[in-house]
Amino acid sequence: MLGPLSRGHEIVFLHVNRDLIEAGGDLGNAYAFHHDKLDIDVLFLEWRWAIDGRNTTPCGIEGHICDLHRQTELPTWYTVRLGTRP
């Protein structure tokens, strides 16, 4: 069975490179990161739990990480705003 890369697709993480920004971990060009909303074929999501003091606080507060916000924003954008059928 051929995977998506062998069929000409590209895998892009639709968030900022937190490994680089928060931990200084440079993954080189192993992955593509893009924080905008792209024209996509498939959206895979990793479940995010609400964690007090980390992703339940307003953006900009020390210690806040927007992973839960992004996890909510992407399905809303691709289904509600663009009218994509599930």
Q: Count of domains in the chain?
A: 1
Report the pLDDT averaged over residues 29-39. 74
Residue 76 has pLDDT above 80, yes or no: yes
Are 22 and 15 contacting, i.e. CB atoms less than 8 angstroms apart? no
Answer whether residue 76 is part of any domain: yes
Residue 55's pLDDT band (cuts 50, 70, 90): confident
**% of the chain at pLDDT higher than 70:** 85
Side chain identity, residue 80: V
Residue 86's pLDDT band (cuts 50, 70, 90): low
Using CA atoms, how far residue 73 sits from 15, 47, 67, 80, in Å, is 11, 13, 10, 10
Answer whether residue 86 is part of any domain: no
| Structural domain for 51, as ranges | 5-81
Residue 47 has pLDDT above 70, yes or no: yes
